[in-house]
Amino acid sequence: MAILTVHTVAELRRHIQCWHIAGEKIALVPTMGNLHAGHIRLVEHARERAERVVVSIFVNPLQFGPNEDFKSYPRTLEADKIQLMASGTDLLFAPPVEEMYPDGEQRVTRVEVPELSSILDGEFRPGHFAGMATMVLKLFNMVQPDIALFGQKDYQQLAVIRRVVQDVCVPVNIIGIATVRENDGLAMSSRNQYLTPSEREAAPLLYRTLGEVVQAMKHGRRDFQRLEAEALRKLRVAGMRPDYVAIRVAQTLSAPDADARYFVVLAAAWLGKARLIDNIEVQVAARADA
Ligand code: PAF
């Protein structure tokens, strides 16, 4: 038996409509394919929370910059279908680019979240979050899911999506799922396959370095800029090319003040041809003098 796969919005709507009429709860898991255990974890969580699980696979040109890996991004639809079948997906939506952007992607209306889209990853990948949010909002309108699940590895992406949903009143519950890691701590990502064997060995340093920042904060350090600078130095010494290491207030990603207690430590770093991103949330004790 093959997984139910549709390539057009009209076909998608036909199936979804039946499920809506039957009063079934629908979960959406948006992906760009090349599925790994992190994606499958999202599907499993979706399965537990809804009667119907829709997975989309679409390598979205709008969220790639001109010098990024849109053309070479791994496309493995047939292997993905087998994994989705085994994990209990009800429907795979795999549209071609012309279905998502019939008038061309340059002419499509954009969804832009000010500020949040231009900091951290947004500073290094201009237009990325607008391209991502535009596509995700289109998916929400096409599927009209009750819930949608995203990995917390893409922490800023999750924050942008939550803002869009709140700002334009999309009736969907956004659920963030914990990052799935390899045994040595490296966050799972389709882009990890760009690493050579020696780079792959070095890659878990990113997560370890974030962990050290977190430990330092738990031990009372609040000199955020110095902590960031130390972490950047560590990554550079090991041959990585970090874009940033940043300590921010969890969820909002705003710059923390001395009294903040809920943080996220985020980083992006190049290692060879792979751009790795990762983050750890941390809650610290209130200051004794506060
Ligand atoms: O995280 C991803 O894979 C993509 O950014 C998403 C959410 C599927 C939108 O293209």
Is there an atom of ligand 1 within 6 Å of 60 CB?
yes
3-class SS of residue 58? coil
Residues 6+ apart with CB under 8 A from 72: none
Structural contact between residues 143 and 93, judged by C-beta atoms closer than 8 angstroms: yes
Q: Which atom of ligand 1 is nearest to the CA of 154?
A: 1
| Average pLDDT of the residues in 25-31 | 98
pTM of structure = 0.97
The domains of the chain, with CATH numbers, are 5-177 (3.40.50.620), 190-281 (3.30.1300.10)
Q: For ligand 1, atom 9, which residue shows the shortest CA distance?
A: 132
- Asked if residue 258 has pLDDT above 80, the reply is no
Q: Which amino acid is at 54?
A: V
pLDDT band, residue 257 (cuts 50/70/90): confident
Q: For ligand 1, atom 6, which residue shows the shortest CA distance?
A: 31
Say which residue the tokens 């989309």 belong to: 56
Q: 239 is written with which tokens?
A: 């041959």
Is there an atom of ligand 1 within 6 Å of 132 CB?
yes
Q: For ligand 1, atom 3, which residue shows the shortest CA distance?
A: 31
Q: Round to the nearest angstrom and report the end-to-end CA distance of the chain.
A: 62
> pLDDT per residue over 76-130, tens digit each?
999 999 999 999 999 999 999 999 999 999 999 999 999 999 999 999 999 999 9
Structural contact between residues 118 and 262, judged by C-beta atoms closer than 8 angstroms: no
Taken as a whole, the chain contains a residue count of 290
CA distance 241 to 153: 19
Q: How far is the CA of 191 from the centre of ligand 1 (A)?
A: 13
Is there an atom of ligand 1 within 6 Å of 135 CB?
yes
- Asked if residue 289 has pLDDT above 70, the reply is no
Cα 266 from chain centroid (whole Å):
13
> pLDDT per residue over 266-281, tens digit each?
999 999 999 999 999 9
Give, in order, the Cα–Cα distances in Å from 158 to each of 24, 144, 198: 25, 18, 31
- Asked if residue 290 has pLDDT above 90, the reply is no
3-class SS of residue 188? coil
Catalytic center residues: 39
Strand ranges inside the chain, DSSP E: 5-6, 26-31, 52-57, 91-93, 147-151, 173-177, 241-249, 262-271, 274-283
- Asked if residue 230 has pLDDT above 70, the reply is yes
Is there an atom of ligand 1 within 6 Å of 271 CB?
no
Q: Which pLDDT score is estimated for 96?
A: 98
Residues 6+ apart with CB under 8 A from 227: 213, 216, 217, 221, 247
Is there an atom of ligand 1 within 6 Å of 31 CB?
yes
